[in-house]
Structure 1
């Protein structure tokens, strides 16, 4: 390993005490904007999201034996399903659905431990996962544009709000393209802060909640059998659980990138089954206190790559700091005062990036759309998912939107002739050295 790639702090090395907080704050800022955006969009408490993010990350570090420096923040993939489930049964139903999604992670982790990866790649290859990720991003496009253009009070078009959104979007793009170092990793946070300042001068920020909030204040936790009694529904399960298969595929991609950044094969040690289980336990922890599902964050992987500080102690410090932030009433109240136009401006870029990452998966895996089979699978997934197709099995049971699109994609991939050889697909995805890694 040359000096340019040599870690400043390796995975199990502790930072100096006087630097620890500063290094951890870098990771907190990297995840902060996106993590609080998700609860803002689905109307959950951002304080709870911060607490669940920190607790989930600590659980992840424990389950992976302190060998993978990864931070878990709010997952964008679950935004549409949470909105759909909340319309069906309120926030409590969304928490139940998130818990069930976490169980999917556990089941997949067990199967990977015992049977390897081929079975997962057989049912969820890139030609299925890529278009589903595109559906996740484009399916939220109307949400982002509506937040950007409309006054949330009147619901009508507002040039003032749209100008704030466009300013926020412009700052986010500039920071992402032209800034280097840590500032280049936190364009979302920079965009939100700048957009918030601009919105204040345009007169659409109200600090009443911040003034009334206590300095130390408990978030609005949603706890099963304490604040509500869970009521299982197959509709909830069918909306939320299929999303986990997509986020698991994204998780594998993150592990591959993280392994390359740190210079270790995390799929083998501590094992992909452990990292997926850690992610799933994090999702379940969030569901037990009222937070959105979590996932490993590319922003924090970027911090690792730039700083070459891979210490899990720094990640744990960020997790503890996030938990503390969740109990700062003034902070969470300030988050709630951010105008929807600011979040809409950031969301235009973020949701587009989600869709583009699905397209990138297709390109990186050299999916040939001259092949009619690939064209058919992708086309059907895109139209059924973005169009909001629904299969209503009864008054209280339906499969809709992304869940139905995913199911159709899996079935088409399994039944249409011309499916790629499993070994060929594994080599394309992971390289020959990781072929059929059972972890």
Structure 2
């Protein structure tokens, strides 16, 4: 790989160059970052603002050495949606805050004990099937969004909007060159939105009426809701961090290869994990979803060979500004559900497929009964939506979280556990794929 930089980590671009390069990163993360809050019932404007604030915090904590952008995490869609609908947004924010604290604890342990233990705790045979569960568990949501009208009934017209969006996203992801190949989600949404406008599915009136400057509806603890932590919130959210931490490690290994530095050792995996967790805590304090480093933006780095942290910081500032522009917020809210459904069909499928790819690239042998048992249990518990009701305090552990817990326990308990290479996550994602959070 040619990673000779055009702009290195500490290089400051010229003003016009800085503007265009930062906007490029903004577009790369935009589609996925607004899709998550769209699906779980949170405000996309706050997701943008919290992603910008979280990225700036990450850059500070990693001593401005790691050029990464943090956007909304897809791994928490099911638990956040459940908490938001059943207990209100305050519960979802409490869960997001807990996830950030767990990241902080893991970072502290890694600083004291090193990082190999977590890689052995989360081998591909555990992480791969859980990633598959993440993608497939929301398959029904994607299909429903793609095929139904606002009343919840099947509609050929709305399905046509989803199919046009899906076709456009696939076309951009396979045939587009350079930067367009990195933003197939955003490009697909744009094409789907234009088609929806032509067939009369979009209500554009709110966009015309919206003010240019508009204060988002922040969800502030002790102001917007009473802070309350429960075991239900803990068991719904925290086990999913098993997957997102492994995803973070994978991104750091890929980023190290792209940039030509060893980020696991300097500034250290503990710092990058702490930065990731801090971004989620910030998000919880303003009303956004949990955060994760974005493969989309790593792809931009690989293509442009511009590694400057100033460019990533510029993208973060633009995201914050965009969150306060009423016209943009109204435009996001006006995107028809089937447009997002069409994108989701591909995006959720790619998440599941990336789990399969991890198993293939890691050469997992399913003739080994140990591997077969672990993967089988994770898939059925996760996709089947199994629920474990504990006999005290009415605690319930559901679906994906329960699958992750069972996977880790089986990996620890069953004999024959192989030692895992420190590069085990290196092939989780490729710069040639559509990157998912």
Q: How does 1:188-227 map to 2 (within 5 A)?
A: 188-227=185-224
> Residue 415 of structure 1: CA displacement?
1.1
Q: Compute the displacement of 1:36 (Å).
A: 0.6
With normalisation by structure 2, the TM-score equals 0.95
Offset from partner CA, 1:281-319 (integer Å, 9 cap, x none): 001100100001111111100110111100000000000
1-side partners of 2:14 and 2:136: how far apart?
44
* Corresponding residue for residue 50 of structure 2: 52
1:207 is displaced (CA, Å) by 1.5
Say if 2:9 is the partner of 1:16.
no
Report whether the alignment pairs 1:98 with 2:99.
Answer: no
Partner of 1:254: 251
Q: Kindly indicate whether the alpha-carbon contact (under 8 Å) linking 2:41 and 2:84 is maintained by their aligned counterparts in 1.
A: no
Deviations 1:186-222 (A, max 9, x none): 0000000000000011111001321332110011100
Match of 2:125 in 1: 127
Structure 1 partner of 2:287: 290
Quick one: distance in 2 between partners of 1:345 and 1:430?
30
The size of the alignment, in residue pairs, is: 426
The offset of 1:375, in angstroms, is 0.4
Aligned equivalents of 1:242 and 1:373: distance in 2? 22
Q: Secondary structure at the match of 2:117?
A: helix
SS state of the match for residue 73, structure 1? strand
Cα deviation 1:351-407 (Å, max 9, x = unaligned): 001101111111121111110100010001000000000011257310011011111
Is it true that 1:161 corresponds to 2:165 in the alignment?
no
TM-score, with structure 1 as normaliser: 0.95
Where in structure 2 are the equivalents of 1:296-315 lying within 5 Å?
Answer: 296-315=293-312
- 2:435 aligned partner: none
| 1:390 aligned partner | 387
Q: How does 1:35-184 map to 2 (within 5 A)?
A: 35-152=33-150, 154-184=151-181
Hey, which bits of structure 1, 4+ residues long, moved more than 3 A?
424-431
- Contact residue 251 and residue 276 of structure 1 kept, 8 A: yes
Q: For residues 222 and 429 of structure 1, do their structure 2 counterparts lie closer, same or farther at Cα, with a shift above 3 Å needed?
A: closer
Secondary structure of 2:390's counterpart equals strand
How far residue 428 of structure 1 moved from its aligned partner, in angstroms, is 4.7
Judge conservation of contact 2:134–2:351 (CA < 8 Å) in 1. Answer: yes
User: What RMSD, in angstroms, separates the aligned Cα atoms of the two structures?
Assistant: 1.4
Q: 1:20 to 1:56 in 2, by over 3 A?
A: same
TM-fit CA distance, 1:123:
2.4
8 Å Cα contact 2:3-2:302 kept in structure 1 = no
Measured after TM superposition, the shift of residue 45 of structure 1 is 0.6
Query: 1:336 & 1:76 partners in 2: Cα distance?
Result: 19
Measured after TM superposition, the shift of residue 411 of structure 1 is 1.2
Query: Which residues of structure 2 form unaligned runs of 5+?
Result: 428-437
CA distance in 2, matches of 1:259, 1:241: 27
Taking a change above 3 Å as real, the CA distance of residues 427 and 307 of structure 1, as seen in their structure-2 partners, is closer
Tell me the CA shift for residue 429 of structure 1. Answer: 5.1
Describe the superposition over 1:87-108 as per-residue Cα deviations: whole angstroms up to 9, x where unpaired. Answer: 3311110000000011111111
Q: Deviation at 1:9?
A: 0.2
1:269 equivalenced with 2:266 (yes/no): yes
Question: For 1:382 and 1:418, how far apart are their aligned partners in 2?
Answer: 21
1:316 aligns with one of 288, 313, 317: 313
Indicate if the aligned counterparts of 1:102 and 1:244 stay in contact, CA closer than 8 A. no
Secondary structure of 1:151's counterpart equals coil
Instruction: Provide the secondary structure at the position in 2 that maps to 1:391.
Output: strand
**In the alignment, what sits opposite 1:364?**
361
Give secondary structure in 1 for the equivalent of 2:88.
Answer: helix
Rounded Cα–Cα distance in structure 1 between residues aligned with 2:121 and 2:85: 30
Paired residues of 2:22 and 2:312 also in contact (CA < 8 A):
yes
Gaps of 5+ in 1: 432-439
Equivalent of residue 231 in structure 2, options 231, 234, 239: 234
